[in-house]
Amino acid sequence: MSETESNLYVRLGGQEGIAAIVEDIWSNHVSNPAIKQRYAQSDPENVKRLVREFFGAGIGGPETYTGRDMLTAHKGMNISDKEFVAVVDDVLSALDKNRVGQRERDEVLCILYSMKGDIVHV
Ligand code: HEM
């Protein structure tokens, strides 16, 4: 299968590539003044594992997601539009840092926005 035909999981570098991206997303989040307070009580290894599972399972990888659905996980946090954009920006800069292609970047952006209704003001 050629690179253009393979699923997003493979095109993002598989387990290893995604693990590196998730590390960078986490370090962007905890240094981003708009959202870092949200993660002050979090166990970093646990959140990173859940995010690796969530993305892996959602984009064609072999992972099984063991966390909560997006609505349940974010309900009651009253997350704002501004915070949502901050999270998306952190993901995009992690993709850039890992030299992810434009097509993959666009696909990830669409996936993130598709979940907005389950995350913002819920
Ligand atoms: C499309 C965007 C997002 C995705 C894909 C996402 C994904 C996730 C996942 C997979 C979890 C773990 C679920 C679980 O605990 O069972 C989680 C938890 C969490 N998310 Fe999000 N999230 C997004 C946006 C946001 C935003 C905008 C905020 C606000 C800054 C946020 C704050 C949190 C917090 C505070 C937790 C709990 C962490 C903990 O349990 O320590 N998320 N998210």
CA distance 62 to 80: 32
Residue closest by Cα to atom 1 of ligand 1: 112
pLDDT band at 1 (very low <50, low <70, confident <90, very high): low
What average pLDDT score do residues 49-76 get?
A: 98
End-to-end CA distance of the chain: 41
At residue 3 the predicted structure's pLDDT band, cuts being 50, 70 and 90, is low
How far apart CA 51 and CA 45 sit, in angstroms, is 10
Position 5 scores a pLDDT of: 78
What per-residue confidence (pLDDT) applies to 62? 97
Asked if the model's pLDDT at residue 2 lies above 90, the reply is no
Tell me what pLDDT residue 96 has.
98
Query: DSSP string covering 31-45, please?
Result: T-TTTGGGGTT--HH
DSSP assignment string, 96-120: HHTT--HHHHHHHHHHHHHTGGGTB
Please tell me the CATH code under which domain 9-118 is placed: 1.10.490.10
Determine the distance separating the centroid of ligand 1 and the alpha carbon of 71, expressed in angstroms: 10
Segment 71-96 shows an average pLDDT of 98
Domain ranges, ordered by start, for the chain = 9-118
Q: For 19-31, what is the mean pLDDT? A: 98
Residue 9's pLDDT is what?
98
What is the mean predicted confidence (pLDDT) over 102-117?
98
57 pocket-lining for ligand 1 (C-beta < 6 Å): no
- Contact call for residues 14 and 6 (beta carbons, < 8 A): no
Pocket flag, ligand 1, residue 92 (CB < 6 Å): no
